[in-house]
Amino acid sequence: MEERRRRKEVKLMDKEFCVMSCCSRNIHGGKTWEEVKHIAHGARNTTISLAKQVGLPQLVVVKYAAIDDSDTLQRQSEVHAKFQGCPYILRCYGDEYCTAKDNGRIIYNVLFEHASGGNLADLIKTSRGGAGGLPESDVKSFTKSILLGLDCIHNEGYAHLDIKPKNILLVPDLSKKRKRGASASAAFDAKIADFWIANSSKQILAELRWEDRWCLEGTPRYMSPEAIVEHKKGPACDIWALGCVVVEMLCGQPAFSIKPGESLEDFLDRIGFGRESPRIPVGISREAQDFLKRCFVRNSKSRWNANRLLSHPFLKDHIPDAESPHKKATENHTWNHAPNSNNPELTLTVVVSLQSSLESPLGNIMAEMGSRVEDRARHEDLLEAQRFARSKS
C-alpha cells in the first residue's frame, strides 16, 4: 500500500511521458507508444487498447486507468510480475505513468503481450461452425498449456480464481510448424491472462472473516462448490474451473446449463447445495472422461492438483486427428445442451437490481442470498457439532 501511495504522489518530470516503474520493470528503456486501436472498456474503470511502441515492430496491449482509479490495475500488475518468465502466462512488459494530452490527468498504464489469436471463448464459438467443439488434439494441447500455467501460479502460492475461456488468450508460436490438414489453432499457444482477483494463500486466509463469508468473486458458470458454499478460495477452485473449460472445448457447450427463468441465486444454489456436478458427455475418449472426473471431485482436498493432472493419460501422445474417435462422435454427444448464447434466457436477473450472465464476473453481489445461505450453513454446523459430540461420547 505504501508503494502504491508513493507511486501516486510522484511528480512527473515530462508532460508527455515518464516511466515510473518499480522493481526495475522499465519498458524497453522507457520509449513511448502510440495507440493503434481502441479494443474495449475493461473491468474496474480500465480501458484496453492495441498499441505500437515507437521504433519497435511488434504490437502490445495497453490497459490503462486514471491514477485515482488504478489501485486494482496496479495490484494486477504486481501479481502478474510474480510469474514473469513462465511461457504459459501472458507476458507483462511492465507499467508506466503518463500525462493525458487532452486533460492533463495522470494515467497509469500496463503493457501486455498481444494475443493476435484472440481468446479461447471465441475460438470455441467459431470452431466447426459453433457445433461440436475443438478437435481433441487441440484440446489436449491447450489443456496442457493451461495446466503448466496453473502449476506455476500455484507453486508461487497463488490461485487465479477466474479461469474461463475468455481469460485464456492465444499467442502465435513461430516455432510450431503447421502440418498439412492441422487446425489453425495448432499454431497458437494458450496463455493465462487477467489476474484481477488472483490471491495468495496468505491473503485468502486473511479475508475469511464471518462478515465476508458470502461475498463471492469469480464467474458463476466456472465456480466450484466450495467457493459457493464455504467461500473457500484456492488452487482447487482453478482445477474445477479448468474442468469446465475442457468440457466447453470438447463439446462447444458450457459444462453447466441454465434452466429457463432460473435466477443467479437458484443457479448457485443448485451447484453449491444441490450437489450437481457437470455432466461428462459420452462420445469423447475414455481418457478425457477420466480426466474430467478428476477435475470434478466435489471434495476439494481429493481433487487432483495441476502437477498430478499433467501426468494423466489424457495428455499423453494423442491419436492423429483424422482417426480421433472424438471427431466422429461430435454430432452425437449425449449432452444436456445449454441455450444458445444469443438466447435471452441466458441472461439472469439478479436480486440486487443488477443484470448478469453466467459468463460475467460476480463481484460482491451476494448480500440478498445471505439469509438462506447462512441458515443452511448454520444447520450444517449444527449437524457437524452433533456428529463430533457423538464421536466423543
What pTM does this model have? 0.72
The CATH number covering residue 54 comes to: 3.30.200.20
Provide the grid cell at 96. Answer: 508506466
**Sequence-ordered list of residues with C-beta below 8 angstroms from that of 46, at least 6 positions apart, any chain:** 63, 64, 65, 69, 72, 73
Instruction: Give pLDDT, residue 276.
Output: 81
Query: What stretches in the chain show pLDDT beneath 70?
Result: 1-32, 43-44, 55-57, 128-131, 175-185, 201-216, 317-393
Q: Whole-angstrom Cα distance, residue 204 to residue 202?
A: 5
142-157 pLDDT tens trace: 999 999 999 999 999 9
> Is there a single domain that holds both residue 244 and residue 310?
yes
Asked, for residue 369, whether it belongs to a domain, the answer is yes
Asked, for residue 154, whether it belongs to a domain, the answer is yes
Instruction: Give pLDDT, residue 176.
Output: 64
Instruction: Give pLDDT, residue 191.
Output: 97
> Is there a single domain that holds both residue 133 and residue 107?
no
Domain count, the chain: 2
> Is there a single domain that holds both residue 314 and residue 251?
yes
Q: What length does the chain have?
A: 393
**Which amino acids are annotated catalytic?**
162
Q: Where are the beta strands (DSSP E) in the chain?
A: 33-41, 47-53, 59-66, 92-99, 106-113, 158-159, 168-172, 188-192, 199-200, 347-350, 354-357
Q: Whole-angstrom Cα distance, residue 226 to residue 299?
A: 8
Domain end point (choices 62, 79, 113): 113
Asked, for residue 283, whether it belongs to a domain, the answer is yes
CB 32 within 8 A of CB 17: yes
> Is there a single domain that holds both residue 81 and residue 141?
no
Asked, for residue 391, whether it belongs to a domain, the answer is no
Instruction: Give pLDDT, residue 323.
Output: 35
Asked, for residue 385, whether it belongs to a domain, the answer is no
> Is there a single domain that holds both residue 230 and residue 328?
yes
34-58 pLDDT tens trace: 788 888 887 667 888 888 877 666 8
Which pairing describes strands 168-172 and 188-192: parallel, antiparallel, or unpaired? antiparallel
> Is there a single domain that holds both residue 10 and residue 149?
no
CB 245 within 8 A of CB 146: yes
> Is there a single domain that holds both residue 194 and residue 336?
yes
Q: Which domain holds residue 97?
A: 2-113
**Sequence-ordered list of residues with C-beta below 8 angstroms from that of 27, at least 6 positions apart, any chain:** 19, 21, 53, 93, 94, 95, 96, 111
> Is there a single domain that holds both residue 181 and residue 148?
yes
Asked, for residue 31, whether it belongs to a domain, the answer is yes
Scan for cell 479475508, then name that residue. 207
> Is there a single domain that holds both residue 17 and residue 65?
yes
CB 145 within 8 A of CB 191: yes
Domain end point (choices 64, 97, 113): 113
154-211 pLDDT tens trace: 999 999 999 999 999 999 887 665 555 556 567 889 999 998 888 886 555 444 444 4
Scan for cell 475443438, then name that residue. 134
Instruction: Give pLDDT, residue 46.
Output: 82
